[in-house]
Amino acid sequence: MKKFNNIKGVFFDLDGTLFDTAPEIIFATNQMLKDLSLHELERNLIKSFIGKGADNLIRKSISSASKKDPEVLFKEAKELFNKYYILNAGQSLTYDGVERALIELKKKKLILACVTNKPEIFTQLILEGSGLVSYLDLVVSGDTVDKKKPHPMPIKHSCDMLALKPKEAIMVGDSCNDIEAGFSAGTYVVTVPYGYQYGQSIKSDKVDLAIKNLNDLVPIIN
């Protein structure tokens, strides 16, 4: 397996990489649709919308549940989604082995960050509710900087904040957003297979390594 040398920091996506956030998002989305007098959507359809930010998920859900212009309902829909999601976001569970991996990576004196497209209010609820925030040196949310992944800005910002050169960092994620953002920012890119790819393949020449779970990272970072 590939080894990474001279790595000082590891950046993790949140939804689909650290946490299985789908159950809570699906609940909030269908409650939003019900309050808008639209029909509820299948779980797997909503799950396929996760990963490109809450605004995209809301618009996609409205379009799938009705023939109405999502923009007409968007403001009300977003308020409803936020109302319901804030109630349960903190209940999201990590994937198996995530906390153990973070503990072992911290033992290697690595700088750890979460770089997500999720708005800060929900990101903090999830990270604080799980206790994982204690392992992180930086959290960059979807509203921290002007652009979201797949734009490289959030990762470049993370490197700047942590005084890291791009090739001293690895971006770990589950989707093309993470791949494109990490590659464009100049970091190494590692993928996990169990998250939310919204129907897109994550097999790419831009990926340095595909692992099965986060614990696979521990022995390959020198």
Residues with a known catalytic role: 13
Edge-to-edge strand list for the sheet holding 188-191 = 138-140, 111-115, 9-12, 169-173, 188-191, 209-210
The answer to whether 2 and 220 are in contact (CB under 8 A) is yes
Helix/strand/coil percent split, the chain, to 5: 50, 15, 40
Q: In angstroms, rounded to a whole number, what is the distance separating the alpha carbons of residues 129 and 87?
A: 12
Q: In angstroms, rounded to a whole number, what is the distance separating the alpha carbons of residues 113 and 8?
A: 11
The answer to whether 23 and 31 are in contact (CB under 8 A) is no
Cα angle at 196 between 83 and 30, to 5 degrees?
30
Nearest alpha-carbon partner for 74 in 89, 60, 53: 60
